[in-house]
């Protein structure tokens, strides 16, 4: 996937363009006056003032971070919704609603003859009530609405990714050999062992059902064996204290130097910082020892933990040495290097922290809706429906009372797509069973006054070879339907032929709308960041107006002095963009452990499974979006720096060089 | 003006100002700071403009030094009407032919003494060619700094220097590119008398031994007495003929 993306012509053109722009920038930098580079470097990396550009880079960093993170999650929502919706349905759906479509096998056979169609299978779909009696005697039975879906499992697995969403009989895409273990046409068959066990328990034989796991699970918080190591948090806290001490030491160093040039507060700070990683390493070693010797079944430390801890230790040490050496003027550039190392340490901390969450031995509480079924494998549920006649009327008993069809079913598997909407509503049964429940089974002629009623299906689901041709094939199926009705007038009825996207346009539309609104809000936020960067740049040029006057008095041109601030904005934007990019990628990579930690720490649920559709926070990272956002923010921060650049350019030197 | 430009440039005054008027607007009200000042500066001359505070000395210096544009009048620098020339020309003159020394030194706080001294050279040199000329410029700067008694202070930041040392560093920055005209705006105004005298000695030495043309403005008569010629400025007008 990644390689094909990179190989597309526009990416190659974009890369060539970026290369040319970079070359142009290098040429510009080399041919411009050297004072701009020297002054800009001083503004960026001059001692403790290096904090100023780091703070200035924050809006750009925050902009990139939020734009990438939020859009990745929103895009993940959209992509996963589409993925699961399509996988659960089919490419094209011929929908005859509740009244049903007669002669469905004949029409399905005709559809399969259409060029481009791979498979077509009839499906029953009707609303029903499901009664669930939990295995715990004290708990009463629950009744809730559901969507009863009658399928021919062998065919259904061919039109979508149905079998991938089964818990017990799953055949993942990367493990096709499992298909031999779980033959598709027997997915709804009650295994002999279950039949035997039921008979021994004195229970009657029941047809099999695959029930959405959300329907037969407790909608309550359960303890999930999620591994969290609180000692990692201790180390984190220790490191944060180290950061704070560094800041205090820095301020103290400045203050002390005013009174005594021999005070070595920075040396003390460096000493402290050298001690911190040592303690971190000792703690890590203790953790490793406890895990290895204390709990034989527990998780062991893996390489990410050690790597992160190593980076942390080396980073702290290097930062300490650099900051210490940076006291000497000739090594002034080491201070910003030290600061950059501290940033690197923060990133390493995040990595170490998350790996600690993953590999530590502690268990945390997490809301778990679909992993704890109250009806076990082989257990019973009861499904009740009100059948609808071919004319669209509710079928009634003698006396006009609505007829209710009910049937007990034995659970042979759980349906778990990760899309909560489906997992908490779908009940799959064999096609013929569903036909009986929905009143679509048909009946033979009972005499001259009562002609035969043909069996019906709610839908015909169609798999096509090339999804990009779905619109054309939809038209062909519609034509086929018109011809079919012309041949068999008694099949006429309200039938719609749609692609899966049209069929599910409500949910997909909502997700797309949310995504668009988010994009709009992020766009406005993007402009807000631009204004903020412009303000910082303006204030920076205002503060440095004395320098502007000096430079112009020495013959620097207006444009040159203005471009100095533009270059400053570019570099600050570059730093911010890099920090935001790294931060967002790390955040996305460690989103699940971070969610667990936030839930546990704040006693909240940032992603409730009953509100959102997915079991995990979805995310879809687009390389093109990352590059686009990074370049846009970089361009924005450079453009916004025009505010400072213009101020510097139009500033008259005499305005700042007057005698005070 | 009918003389050939070359001869005029070689033998004539290095700087001429005629009818200089400078107005500042404060809302609707106009403040006329200079009211038709005319003067001429000869090559190698040490000229002092003496006047009380608010008389327009600094404004006059800024106009003569091509830092600001007059409301009316002309400034002729080495035979060229400065404000008829493009701005780029005036920028180049400030970088190559003119040096400035200010009362408050105006050194770049983030650069060392050497860095400040090299600044005019850095302004006119591209990053590409800097590695090839840096050694030469550095040698010149060190020579000037040594000459001014700052040989041991080249690596220090301005904040680590005394007032006199800062002013000498500012003079070094103004001299390193070999200017033909040096403007000094109250160069001793921020210094004690001993240090001020020391700075004046430096300026006098540069004028007498180096032949550098110096234009200085001050309000201190004792300082002004060390110049070859003194002009009195009051309320934006010169009291004696230029």
Over the stretch B14-35, which tens digit does the pLDDT of each residue have? 999 999 999 988 888 889 999 9
Backbone angle region of B211, left / alpha / beta, with phi > 0 → left and psi within -120 to 50 → alpha: left
Which residue among B93, B106, B127 places its CB closest to the CB of A37?
B127
Best A336, A545, A555 residue to mutate vs chain B (most B CBs within 10 Å) = A555
pLDDT at A656: 84
Q: Where are the alpha helices (DSSP H) in A262-370?
A: 265-289, 303-325, 334-359
* pLDDT tens per residue across span A97-106: 878 889 999 9
**Residue that has been written with the tokens 């094909």 in this structure:** A4
Asked whether the whole model's pTM tops 0.95, one would answer: no
Got the DSSP string for A218-255? --SEEEEEEEE-HHHHHHHHHHHHHHHHHHHHHHHHHH
In a domain, A11, yes or no: no
B194 vs A: CB within 8 A: no
Q: In this structure, are A617 and A576 located in the same domain?
A: yes
pLDDT of residue B82: 94
Chain B residue with CA closest to A33: the answer is B126
Q: Are residues A343 and A377 in the same domain?
A: no
Q: Do residues A498 and A511 share a domain?
A: no
Closest chain A CA to residue B121:
A35
Last residue of a domain, one of A485, A503, A521: A503
What confidence score (pLDDT) does residue A245 get? 55
| Residue-level pLDDT at A395 | 84
Chain A interface includes B26 (CB < 8 A): no
Q: How far apart, in whole angstroms, are the C-alpha atoms of residue A574 and residue A553?
A: 31
B125 and chain A in contact, CB less than 8 A: yes
Please report which helix (H) or strand (E) contains residue B232, including its range.
Answer: strand B229-234
Q: Which two tokens stand for residue A583?
A: 């931060």
Asked if the C-beta of B218 comes within 8 angstroms of chain A's C-beta atoms, the answer is no
Q: pLDDT tens digits for A199-220?
A: 888 888 899 999 998 888 765 5
Residue pair A44/A560 in contact (Cβ under 8 Å)? The answer is: no
**Token match 């709308």: residue?**
A513
Asked if residue A652 and residue A524 are part of one domain, the reply reads yes
Look at residue A25 and tell me if it is in a domain: no
Instruction: Give the best residue of A26, A33, A35 to mutate against chain B (max B CB count within 10 A).
Output: A35
Q: Is residue A16 part of a domain?
A: no
Measuring CA to CA, which residue among A417, A412, A501, A370 is closest to residue A163? A417
Say if residue A461 is in the same domain as residue A434. yes
**Number of domains within chain A:** 3
| Contact by Cβ (8 Å): A360, A301 | no
Domain boundary among A503, A519, A544: A503
Residue A18 in any domain: the answer is no
Separation between Cα atoms, residue A389 and residue A656, nearest integer Å: 90
Question: Same domain for A59 and A161?
Answer: no
Full residue range of the structural domain in which residue A322 is found: 230-360
Q: Is the pLDDT of residue A136 over 60?
A: yes
A217 shares its domain with A101: yes
Residue that wins the pLDDT comparison between A214 and A153? A153
Cα–Cα distance between A654 and A553 in angstroms, integer? 9
In chain B the domains, ranked by start, together with CATH numbers, are: 44-61+90-238 (3.40.50.300)
Please tell me the least confidently modeled range out of A124-128, A374-378, B142-146. Answer: A374-378
pLDDT tens track for A564-614: 999 988 888 898 899 899 889 888 887 877 777 777 667 777 777 666 667
pLDDT in tens, A21-44: 888 888 888 888 999 999 988 888
CB contact under 8 A, B122 and A34: yes
Nearest C-alpha neighbor of B143 from the set B114, B104, B182:
B114
Q: Looking at the structure, do residues A240 and A351 belong to the same domain, yes or no?
A: yes
Q: Name beta bridge partners: A498.
A: A93
Please report the pLDDT score of residue A359 as a whole number. 41
* Burial tier of A573 (Cβ tally within 10 Å: 0-12, 13-18, 19+): buried
Q: Is A37 on the interface with B (CB under 8 A)?
A: yes
Which of residues A503, A536, A571 is at a domain's end?
A503
What is the share, in percent, of chain A residues with pLDDT greater than 70?
73
Query: Would you call B45 an interface residue with chain A, using a CB distance cutoff of 8 Å?
Result: no
DSSP category for residue A190: P
- A73 lies in the same domain as A116: no
How many residues belong to chain B? 242
Chain A partners within 8 Å of B59 (Cβ) = 654
Query: Is A174 in the B-facing interface, judged by CB distances under 8 Å?
Result: no
User: Other C-beta atoms within 10 Å of A42: how many?
Assistant: 18
Which pLDDT score, from 0 to 100, does residue B3 have?
47
Residue A232 predicted with pLDDT over 50: no
Mean pLDDT in residue range A423-431: 93
- C-alpha span between A276 and A235 (Å, rounded): 10
Rounded Cα–Cα distance for residues B157 and B154 (Å) = 8
> Measuring CA to CA, which residue among A619, A554, A477 is closest to residue A113?
A477
From B57's Cα to the closest Cα of chain A, the distance in A is: 11
Residues A144 and A200 in one domain: yes
CA neighbours closer than 13 Å in the CB half-sphere of residue B73: 23
Co-location of A652 and A511 in the same domain: yes
A605 lies in some domain = yes
Q: Does any domain span residue A264?
A: yes
* Interface residue A258 vs chain B (CB under 8 A): no
Find out whether A16 and B111 touch, Cβ atoms under 8 Å: no
Query: Is A537 part of a structural domain of the chain?
Result: yes
Q: Is residue A532 part of a domain?
A: yes
A180 and A71 assigned to the same domain: no
Q: Is the pLDDT of residue A277 over 60?
A: no
Q: How many angstroms away from the CA of A535 is the closest CA of chain B?
A: 23
**Residue A557 near chain B (CB below 8 Å):** yes
Q: What is the dihedral of CA B66, B68, B71, B72, to 10 degrees?
A: -10
What residues in chain B have per-residue pLDDT under 50? 1-8, 241-242
| B189·A558 Cβ contact <8 A | no
């Amino acid at each position: 996937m990644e390689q094909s993306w990179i190989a597309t012509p526009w990416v190659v053109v974009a890369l060539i363009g970026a290369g040319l722009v970079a070359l142009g920038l290098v040429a510009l930098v080399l041919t411009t006056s050297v004072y701009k580079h020297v002054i800009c470097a001083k503004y960026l990396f001059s001692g403790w003032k290096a904090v100023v550009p780091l703070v200035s880079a924050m809006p750009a960093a925050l902009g990139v971070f939020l734009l990438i993170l939020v859009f990745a999650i929103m895009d993940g929502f959209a992509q996963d919704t589409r993925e699961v919706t399509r996988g659960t349905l089919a490419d094209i759906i011929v929908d005859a609603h509740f009244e049903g479509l007669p002669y469905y096998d004949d029409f399905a056979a005709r559809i399969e003859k259409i060029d481009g169609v791979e498979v077509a299978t009839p499906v029953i779909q009707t609303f029903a009530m499901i009664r669930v009696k939990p295995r715990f005697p004290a708990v009463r039975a629950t009744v809730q609405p559901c969507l009863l879906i009658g399928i021919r499992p062998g065919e259904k697995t061919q039109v979508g990714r149905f079998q991938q969403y089964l818990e017990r009989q799953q055949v993942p895409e990367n493990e096709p050999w499992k298909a031999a273990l779980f033959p598709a046409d027997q997915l709804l068959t009650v295994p002999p062992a279950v039949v035997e066990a039921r008979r021994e328990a004195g229970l009657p034989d029941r047809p099999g059902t695959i029930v959405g796991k959300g329907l037969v699970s407790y909608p309550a918080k359960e303890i999930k064996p999620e591994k969290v190591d609180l000692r990692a948090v201790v180390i984190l806290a220790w490191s944060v204290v180290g950061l704070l001490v560094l800041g205090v030491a820095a301020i103290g160093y400045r203050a002390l130097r005013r009174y005594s040039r021999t005070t070595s507060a920075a040396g003390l700070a460096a000493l402290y910082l050298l001690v911190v990683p040592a303690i971190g390493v000792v703690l890590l070693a203790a953790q490793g020892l406890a895990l290895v010797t204390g709990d034989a079944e527990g998780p062991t430390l893996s390489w990410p933990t050690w790597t992160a801890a190593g980076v942390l230790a080396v980073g702290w040490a290097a930062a300490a040495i650099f900051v210490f050496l940076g006291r000497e003027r000739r090594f002034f550039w080491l201070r910003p290097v030290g600061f950059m190392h501290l940033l690197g340490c923060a990133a390493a901390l995040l990595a170490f922290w998350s790996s600690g969450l993953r590999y530590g031995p502690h268990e945390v509480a997490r809301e778990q809706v679909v992993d704890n079924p109250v009806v076990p494998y082989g257990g019973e549920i009861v499904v009740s429906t009100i059948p609808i006649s071919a004319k669209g009327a509710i079928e009634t008993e003698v006396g006009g009372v609505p007829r209710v069809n009910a049937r007990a079913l034995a659970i042979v598997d759980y349906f778990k797509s990760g899309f909560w909407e489906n997992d908490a509503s779908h009940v799959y049964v064999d096609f013929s069973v569903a036909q009986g429940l929905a009143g679509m089974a048909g009946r033979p002629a009972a005499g001259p006054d009562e002609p035969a009623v043909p069996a019906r299906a709610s839908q015909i689901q169609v798999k096509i070879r090339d999804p990009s041709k779905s619109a054309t094939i939809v038209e062909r199926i519609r034509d086929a339907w018109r011809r079919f009705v012309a041949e068999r007038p008694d099949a006429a009825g309200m039938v719609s032929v749609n692609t899966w996207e049209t069929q599910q346009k409500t949910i997909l539309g909502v997700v797309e709308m949310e995504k668009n609104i988010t994009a709009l809000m992020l766009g406005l936020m993007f402009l807000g960041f631009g204004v903020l960067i412009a303000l910082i740049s303006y204030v920076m040029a205002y503060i440095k107006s004395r320098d502007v006057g000096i430079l112009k008095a020495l013959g620097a041109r207006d444009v040159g002095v203005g471009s100095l601030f533009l270059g400053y904005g570019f570099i600050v934007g570059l730093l911010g963009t890099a920090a935001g990019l790294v931060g967002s990628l790390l955040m996305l990579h460690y989103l699940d452990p971070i969610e667990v930690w936030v839930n546990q720490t704040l006693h909240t649920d940032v992603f409730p499974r009953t509100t959102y559709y997915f079991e995990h926070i979805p995310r879809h990272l687009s390389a093109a979006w990352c590059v686009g956002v990074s370049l846009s923010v970089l361009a924005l921060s450079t453009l916004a720096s025009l505010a400072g650049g213009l101020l510097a350019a139009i500033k008259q030197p005499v305005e700042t060089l007057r005698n005070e | 003006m009918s003389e050939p430009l070359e001869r005029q440039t070689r033998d004539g005054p290095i700087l001429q100002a005629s009818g200089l008027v400078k107005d500042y607007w404060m809302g609707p009200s106009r403040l006329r700071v200079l009211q038709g000042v005319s003067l001429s500066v000869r090559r190698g001359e040490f000229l002092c403009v003496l006047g009380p505070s608010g008389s327009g000395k600094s404004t006059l210096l800024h106009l003569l030094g091509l830092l600001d544009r007059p409301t009316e009048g002309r400034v002729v620098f080495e035979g060229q009407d400065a404000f008829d020339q493009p701005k780029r020309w005036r920028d180049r003159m400030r970088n190559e032919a003119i040096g400035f020394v200010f009362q408050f030194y105006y050194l770049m706080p983030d650069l060392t003494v050497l860095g400040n001294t090299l600044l005019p050279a850095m302004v006119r040199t591209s990053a590409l060619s800097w590695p090839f000329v840096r050694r030469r410029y550095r040698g010149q700067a060190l020579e000037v700094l040594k000459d001014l008694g700052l040989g041991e202070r080249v690596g220090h930041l301005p904040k680590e220097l005394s007032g006199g040392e800062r002013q000498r560093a500012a003079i070094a920055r103004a001299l390193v590119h070999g200017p033909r005209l040096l403007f000094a705006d109250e160069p001793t105004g921020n210094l004690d008398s001993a240090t001020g005298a020391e700075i004046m000695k430096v300026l006098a030495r540069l004028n007498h031994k180096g032949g550098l043309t110096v234009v200085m403005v001050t309000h201190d008569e004792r300082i002004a007495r060390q110049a070859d010629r003194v002009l009195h400025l009051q309320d934006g007008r010169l009291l004696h003929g230029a």
